Structure 1
Amino acid sequence: MDWYQTLFELIDMRSFSNLWFWIVLAVVWSTASHWVLGVPYDMVLRAKRQGGQAEVDLEDMVRINVNRLLYIGQVSGLWLAGFACFFLTLLGLTGFVYGMEFAQAVFLLAFPLSLVGMLGLSTARLIQAEGATGELLYKRLNRQRLYTQLIGMVSIFVTALWGMYQNVTLGPLGG
């Protein structure tokens, strides 16, 4: 047995039967729902509870992140959208047409995150257009977090179903 085969037996390259993939999936969605428009959600809760300087800090941080997101969207948004669509199409075709499990796993992570990204850009535009502060800002950030969590739950459910299907169909050793 050569070192290459030993290495790939030690590190299972199949995604859906690999514990590390499921850990990454959980961490990605936990992180995505904690950081709302680049602002940690505990900061939103603290500002809502305490007001004062915590609220000023939150509004400043949201303003900075909203302006940053909108600037990136205006300057290079079309290019980023084109590359993202190309990348997702490449992953989708490689994974689901040609049967590469790693590409399927990355697609099932990246596609829902792209939806969260588009939703975040939409929320940033809304916050800037309304000049949202105080209760309206909390409402927008809470709604963004709720939608992110809903997309995450659906994504985890679909990924788990597809992963179970792959493991049952291919078996534990990959067919």
Structure 2
Amino acid sequence: LFLVLPFTTPGTTVLHLGPLAATSDGLLLALGLMLRVTASALIVLALLATVEPIRLGQALARLRTPVRLVQLLLLVLRYGALLRAELRRMREAARARGFRGGLSIHALRSFGWLAGMTLVRALERAERVEEGMRLRLWQGALPVAAPGRLGRADAAFGTGVLALALLAVIGIR
């Protein structure tokens, strides 16, 4: 949508890309939309950054999010961090052996080996996790804890978030 708006909105032409003409009004609309999306994403990320993954999964399950989607999200959060740590360890090991990177054939081949080893280790870890889940009689669903009670701090936080959202909406218009 960001790419289409400048070329489909009528107005004063400011840029030509072959047969396409971008307008100033379209560019401003695209910029405004991009800023809103970015602000919304930052707010959501700020709220979710303080939540442990298991509590996030339980909250999504209580909101009747499809079970497979919740499980996938939790696995990505858990094992994505582990794979990043594994990749970081392998890069540090390569640096300790004197590898400096770059765009030479040797460096590109080394990056290929690094990517391949990361995938091999990820597969090995996935097999160990699958075996552990089978041994623990995984039922295919997350246990969902009973909902907790809202306290005064929760109510104050929710009120603050709603007030900020209202200010953002009023400020945009």
Q: TM-score range by the shorter chain?
A: 0.3 to 0.5
- Tell me: higher relative CO, structure 1 or 2? Use CA pairs within 8 A at least 6 residues apart: 1
TM-score (norm 2): 0.35
TM-score (norm 1): 0.35
> Where is the helix percentage greater, Structure 1 or Structure 2?
1
